[in-house]
Structure 1
Amino acid sequence: MEAEDWQALAEPPLSQANTTGYGRTQLFIAAITAHAMRDSFNDALHMALRFRLRVRQPSVTLFLEELNGDEALKRKVAEYMLTLDRARLVSQPASLSRWIKDITNDHRTGLLEKRYNEIVAGFYPPNPWLAPTPEAVSKERPVLMPTTAWTSFIGGFLKCRRVDLAEKLWNDARAQGVKPGIEMWTALLDGYGAIRALDETLITWDAMKEARIKPDCMAYRALLSTLFNMRKTDLAMARFKEFEMLAFPKSAEQSQVLQVYNTVLHGLLLARLEEQARDLYQRMKTGGPTPDVVSYNTFMQYYARKGDMKSFASSFQALTDAGLEGDVFTWSTVLSALYKTSRKDGPQLVTNIMRMQKITPNVATYTAILDHAVGEKDESKLKGAFDLLRWMEQQQDPGIWPNEVTYTSFLSGMCRNEWLDPKLRDECKSHILQSMERRNIKPNRVTYHILLKACLQNPRPEGLRQALAYYADMDRHKVEKDYNTWWIILSGLIRRGDWGAAQEIVNQMRRKGFIPTGGLLNLIRIVYNGPRQSGDSRRRPV
């Protein structure tokens, strides 16, 4: 069965559409089509912003295939729908920032650039809808390009090492009359710091001051972090002294001031300037800002890595004496430190310390600690977390026993981390799967979805092998695959360019009689066309 045949089966005819799900989407596209026939983009825009309905491209394609005749109208509707979707996204700044973060983490630079260009096209004819400043917002341009959008794109471009795109964005903003404020300058500093671009960081700092932009706490934090990470400790301390001499208004967020001090504590300890860090800590205790749990965690992590357990214990006691409770970073650091001392009773000691702090540990508490430790990319923390997991399994209290969430969290963290020694990963994975079977904890569909995502994010060959093994396990455990299952594995395989595996998944979907709809059909089209577009001559699905 070809992809075109599946399209015909994918959706009911328009006459059968109701007002929920598919039907609502089709009615929305029909209304946009009516506006397009009257050349009334602005009316379509206001309707789209009122309903904020997300319409995926395959649904638009399927609707347009039902239209007969006028190809110009089809092109106009397609253009309207694309533009309106970008307007919807920009009108929801939190969603846009989250999308940029996800795409950046996947290093999908091409898609990030494409989406940015589609958005800034909203400043220009033929259908302008985007206002660069609050003063420019009008009935014709009802969507404001928020500062968070500029800053998120800057951070994304620089994290992907596309300095050219960050510079283009800066010029685009200035051309639209946007005067970059401290948030945009700080985004540049953070972005250059993330790629360890020291010269660009210093040039940006000087340019910001020349533009008469007064640096705030977050700008100083970004600068200091980069200087310390690049081992420019003397210059960092000179800038910190400059920061301390500034008179921030009482309204300034004390939490932001504290972030600057914590950055300096971390930087001094990174440079092994322990005495200077201790002196700064004492000044904070007497004159403020008052140290928080992050301050103490910074010292504890330093002493744990150094193997100085006496100072480690002293720092933890200081945290307790300050009336603060440890967080997951604290407990995973404690666990790691105890593991390094070869203490076999580390998990029990962690439990005892928690109870001394009047914290009643349960499976949720321990699961949070495990999740944090596995994500730290620190082998000693992972081994300490593994000891904690085994200790939990041996307890008499059922409230401490690992559950499905605990095991899934551990497995997904390991599968995501390509840095982990394969032998250690296999040992942990084998133990977990055996424990789940022994305890009659059967992975459900959600568990497998998490594991499939995590494995496919691992770019190494074992990531693919493990994903396909979990995929096969679903049949072995009689876990039914649904739309999301197929979407997760196909999108992951396409992203990796594993066309042969993707083709086999499509074949299995067909053999099982699963009828794809919506966005899944688009993935299938990509699988059909992908090998040809990339010059891959391997067999297409049959």
Structure 2
Amino acid sequence: MNSNNKPRTTTDETTKAGDNASAQGEEAGATKEGGSSGNHLPRRGIPRAVENNQGDILESLFEQTLTPLKSTENGSLQPQFSLEPYQNAETLKKMLEENSSVGDSWHFFIEHFGPDVWLQNRHTMPIYVHTPARLLLRQLTQAKSRDPFSKTLPTVSELSWAYLKLGLLHGQEWADMVFILIENIIILGRESLKDPAREERLLMDLLGAWNVICRQSDLPPLSPSPDDPTSYNWSTVPHISKNDVIQTERKRGAMGGALAPFTLLAPSFPFRQLNSFPLITVATFVLLEKDLTVDKSTILDAAPFLSAVRNALGGSGYDVSQLFEAANGPGVEAVSDFVVREWPIVRDTVLKKTVPQKMSAPLSEAVQDTLSTKPYLEVDIYKRLDNALKQRDGHHVDSLWASAMKLPVSQDSKQDDALSTGININKGIKTLSPKLCNFFIMAYMGLRKPNRAIDVWNHMVSNGLTPNVKTWTSMLSGCKIARDRNALESIWERMQKSQVKPDVPCWTTRISGLIDLGRPEAGLEALSEMGHLWMAANRPKKGNKKPEVLPVALQDAVKPTIETINAAISSLLRKRKDEAASRVLDWANKLDIRPDAATFNILLRPLVRDGRSQEVNALLQQMQNLGVPADTATFTVILEETFRNIGDESPERLVEIVSGIFSEMSSAGIEASLHTYSRVIYQLLQMVQEDMTAVNAVLERMARQGLQASPHIYTMLVEHHFGLQPPNLDAVRALVETVRLRAGSTDNVFWDRVIEGYARAGDTASALRILGKLNDEANEAGYYTLRTLLVALVQNQEWDLARTLVQNTRIDRGGPLPGSERGKDGQHQFWALVSELHLLEI
């Protein structure tokens, strides 16, 4: 019998549910038309007026200050706005332009525009104060960089509190101040400059700065004082659970999931202002975990904050190093080097504290049997191994290796390149290949388990598999992942002694590894060595022939390729070594190594990021002169970096910016791909709320090009509509109707998000209706989606519908699985909730 998850209810019950949903929709629509009654935090830096019927206060306040008194009908005069605030703003502006004492400017600002003064009788800060206020903050940041221990300048905590409460604090501005703090704490931690008193004061200021911004967004910030730790109220730190992190990552999707946990940790700032937060978060955690001078009672009081940080980092798998390169600000290089050196050590401690005991214990025999007998084609072992490495889960890697050791060994070297799963598909026999062994070696080296990597090596040798240059490259890659530069050089020396000649990928791994791990000069020396060895190997055999006619590889040496050059300059630019990157390009040109599109894309990113438009144009012109065609990635770089630097622009201005870039692409003979459009729409959705003008313009351009929006694009759109406060259910319904008319425009992920969105909005009738139609079309909702819907039904006290959902799910898909079976994602969690709610009928 084919059943579905449509609730088995009477017609009256269905009608009633539909009426309730309709009534809710009408009420939401009325609220939308009449203006929101709640004072939600805006996404942009400029706060909105609290009440719409007062007019746009931000735009009209200055005009009102100059308006003369008007008589009312009864002859009385309306209250007149004072000119004094505007005159004070002009005075502040003049003080800043004349380079007066920045401390004096700060005191003047607080006296006339501070939160305690200005916000008592006014709703928001007038626009004419924004410019001098932001200029003041920049000057204060520069002054604190020059004199971090000044007692006449405000602390970072005080600055964070004042500007956040006034609605003028940008996430990167906060990051700039905190980078300076952390850099000076690191300096004071050195033995030669040890100063416990100053170190403690800066650490307390760092905690205070976090105390201001790490709080639930609907709570006003308090004013913490570094001199008085008892003023730090940590009870307002948002609770961050593992499930919260997972849900946030899923909502952000593949493009923003890695950064998603930091939206929970710093709810005061929008997502697009958090690029520097992973590095700051890790640096803060490392400093507080180390044995420093801060009073232990202060650390205990801050336990909710440390717990939130630990869980946020844990949700990222403790591997957030890939996010560090997006950080920018004063002192970022010193902070990055500190984190690279210290984080791996602290991270191991974090893992021991946060991983549940059952996860740290060896896997049960039943689970190991499942791993050893489960077909590798069903769950790709490379993907499982890669996930285990990202999660820093050494026990999972051990279990995978225990299973792999039981496989017959393949002596066919062709399999190494032909198969990605380690399986001889034609013969149906699972085999252990050199490629798979190399991957295990890289994983163990990345986990700082060299002895286990040697075990894999020995297993290869004892089974007739000869380690080759790819094996050595895997070991070097693992050292790079582990951020262990000493091990990187040690492995290289051992490889040299073993008489194995490095190939291009091996040299490239070593060169980029040295630069990434804080030894750029050593990396450049390695690149020079690679070139000299190749020239030396060629010289006696080829005489004085020009480089371009020399062979790329001889028995004893290989010529650097553009891939090597690209890896080197990319690593150098991440380290802000622009001049060194330029020298590498000149060196490559002398060896007749021609740049490709990837080279120019690497060079473009920092230029666009820093707003150096003239240099961007010059580089694009050079690209054209050399006959290197721009590719889609070139314009993707320009788009991403352009969006990163866009401020609060009007919808019309956003349309103009995006159209200009697309026009440049067309002029270069490149049509934007679906992937490019997807990235553009994603970036726009981070910047807009209800006004979808710019997004619609992109969709229209896609349609003119004959491209249909992908399921991923539709999923982003529906998540955006549901994410508004309140959710825009009308837009959701219109989108759902649109996609139903376009075959292939949706997938299960899209419908899961629709059902989850309706459930969270309390519209369970619509969620159940969508779920029923899905089953009619032989699709299935995920178990996480079913769990979300079940929670919503219970919260609405719709117990009969909840029982029906459970009953239908059991009929369609079966009941709970034994704990030893893996099942589908979320399956065990769904049935655990059913059992907890006593909805499981025996």
Q: Alignment partner for residue 154 of structure 1, among 385, 401, 417?
A: 385
Query: Aligned residue for 1:205?
Result: 453
Distance in 2 between residues matched to 1:154 and 1:396, nearest whole Å: 39
Distance in 2 between residues matched to 1:324 and 1:446, nearest whole Å: 40
Q: Alignment partner for residue 172 of structure 1, among 399, 403, 406?
A: 403
Over residues 504-532 of structure 1, what are the superposed CA-to-partner deviations in whole Å (9 max), with x where a residue is unaligned? 66456489x888322x1x32898567644
1:357-506 matches, cutoff 5 A: 357-361=626-630, 365=631, 367-371=632-636, 383=645, 391-393=660-662, 395=664, 398=667, 403=672, 405=674, 408-411=677-680, 414=683, 425-426=687-688, 432-433=694-695, 435-436=697-698, 446-453=708-715, 471=732, 474=735, 480-482=741-743, 485=746, 487-492=748-753, 506=767
Over residues 38-68 of structure 1, what are the superposed CA-to-partner deviations in whole Å (9 max), with x where a residue is unaligned? xxxxxxxxxxxxxxxxxxxxxxxxxxxxxxx
Q: Is the 8 A contact 1:412 1:451 kept in 2?
A: yes
* Deviation of the 1:449 alpha carbon: 1.6
Over residues 95-141 of structure 1, what are the superposed CA-to-partner deviations in whole Å (9 max), with x where a residue is unaligned? xxxxxxx9xx999x9xxx9999768547xxxxxxx8xxxxxxxxxxx
| Bigger fraction of residues in helix | 1
Query: Aligned residue for 1:516?
Result: 776
Q: Is the 8 A contact 1:268 1:274 kept in 2?
A: yes
Q: Is the 8 A contact 1:456 1:493 kept in 2?
A: yes
1:74-223 matches, cutoff 5 A: 120-121=372-373, 150-175=381-406, 182-192=434-444, 196-198=446-448, 200=449, 202-211=450-459, 213=461, 214-223=466-475
Over residues 269-321 of structure 1, what are the superposed CA-to-partner deviations in whole Å (9 max), with x where a residue is unaligned? 12332332222112212323221222212332244345454443333344455
2:555 aligned with 1:297: no
Distance in 1 between residues matched to 2:719 and 2:790, nearest whole Å: 24
1:268-287 matches, cutoff 5 A: 268-286=514-532, 287=534
Query: Aligned residue for 1:313?
Result: 582
* Deviation of the 1:152 alpha carbon: 4.5
Distance in 1 between residues matched to 2:367 and 2:440, nearest whole Å: 20
Q: Is the 8 A contact 2:516 2:575 kept in 1?
A: no
Q: Is the 8 A contact 1:444 1:479 kept in 2?
A: no
* Deviation of the 1:536 alpha carbon: 4.9
Q: Is the 8 A contact 2:674 2:707 kept in 1?
A: no
* Deviation of the 1:263 alpha carbon: 1.2
Over residues 399-451 of structure 1, what are the superposed CA-to-partner deviations in whole Å (9 max), with x where a residue is unaligned? 55865737513236648xxxxxx96x449x97852653786856988425232
How many correspondences in the alignment? 391
Q: Alignment partner for residue 510 of structure 2, among 253, 264, 268?
A: 264
Query: Aligned residue for 1:236?
Result: 488
Distance in 1 between residues matched to 2:383 and 2:455, nearest whole Å: 20
The alignment partner of 2:443 has SS state of helix
2:623 aligned with 1:354: yes
Change (3 A) 1:278 1:497: farther
The alignment partner of 2:558 has SS state of coil
The alignment partner of 1:289 has SS state of coil
The alignment partner of 1:290 has SS state of coil
Letter in 2 for 1:205: A
Change (3 A) 1:388 1:356: farther
Letter in 1 for 2:454: D
* Deviation of the 1:330 alpha carbon: 2.2
Change (3 A) 1:401 1:358: closer
Change (3 A) 1:494 1:174: farther
User: Sequence identity of aligned pairs in percent?
Assistant: 9
The alignment partner of 1:523 has SS state of coil
Letter in 1 for 2:777: T
Distance in 2 between residues matched to 1:414 and 1:165, nearest whole Å: 36
Q: Is the 8 A contact 2:561 2:593 kept in 1?
A: yes
Change (3 A) 1:482 1:507: farther
Q: Is the 8 A contact 1:332 1:369 kept in 2?
A: yes
Letter in 2 for 1:405: L
The alignment partner of 1:4 has SS state of coil
Over residues 314-337 of structure 1, what are the superposed CA-to-partner deviations in whole Å (9 max), with x where a residue is unaligned? 333444554445445423322123
* Deviation of the 1:265 alpha carbon: 0.8
Q: Is the 8 A contact 2:597 2:628 kept in 1?
A: no
* Deviation of the 1:503 alpha carbon: 5.1
The alignment partner of 1:282 has SS state of helix
Query: Aligned residue for 1:4?
Result: 4
Q: Is the 8 A contact 2:5 2:771 kept in 1?
A: no
Distance in 1 between residues matched to 2:676 and 2:732, nearest whole Å: 17
Change (3 A) 1:531 1:302: closer
Distance in 1 between residues matched to 2:511 and 2:522, nearest whole Å: 9
Q: Is the 8 A contact 1:303 1:309 kept in 2?
A: yes
Which region of structure 1 is more displaced relative to structure 2, 321-330 or 226-235? 321-330
Query: Aligned residue for 2:544?
Result: none
Letter in 2 for 1:190: M
Distance in 2 between residues matched to 1:6 and 1:265, nearest whole Å: 60
Letter in 2 for 1:523: A
Q: Is the 8 A contact 1:445 1:481 kept in 2?
A: no
* Deviation of the 1:493 alpha carbon: 6.2
Distance in 2 between residues matched to 1:149 and 1:476, nearest whole Å: 37
Q: Structure 1 stretches of 5 or more lacking a match? A: 8-101, 123-129, 131-144, 416-421
Query: Aligned residue for 1:336?
Result: 605
Q: Is the 8 A contact 1:336 1:380 kept in 2?
A: no
Q: Is the 8 A contact 2:511 2:526 kept in 1?
A: yes
Q: Is the 8 A contact 2:562 2:594 kept in 1?
A: yes
Query: Aligned residue for 2:499?
Result: 247
Distance in 2 between residues matched to 1:467 and 1:517, nearest whole Å: 26
Change (3 A) 1:406 1:501: farther
